[in-house]
């Protein structure tokens, strides 16, 4: 007979499964903490890269005709970056 915990009338969970659930929860929490830490490190770098990309797209936009299809695409891209 397997030792278990009755969750409801139809379900029994073993002690081993409960430990596994606890490990999954702990690993999820640790992953969450790691992602928050990475966001603090990568955030300023991403902001700098986005600024550089926006400046290069703006420079490209200045050099093309305002009525061209590509200019419309670049303007929409810059609008999307600002929002």
DSSP string, the chain: ---EEEEETTEEEEHHHHHHHHHHHHHHHHHHHHHHHHHHHHHHHHHHHHHHHHHHHHHHHHHS-TTSHHHHHHHHHHHHHH-
Interval 2-54: pLDDT, tens: 455 666 666 677 778 888 889 999 999 999 998 888 888 888 888 888 888 88
pLDDT on residue 78: 87
pLDDT on residue 5: 60
pLDDT on residue 1: 43
């Amino acid at each position: 007979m397997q030792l278990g915990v009755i969750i409801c009338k139809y379900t029994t969970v073993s002690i081993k499964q409960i430990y596994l659930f606890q490990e999954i929860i702990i690993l999820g929490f640790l992953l969450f903490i790691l992602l928050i830490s990475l966001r603090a490190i990568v955030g300023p770098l991403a902001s700098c890269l986005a600024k550089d990309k926006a400046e290069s797209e703006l420079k490209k936009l200045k050099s093309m005709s305002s009525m061209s299809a590509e200019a419309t695409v670049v303007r929409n891209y810059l609008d999307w970056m600002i929002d």
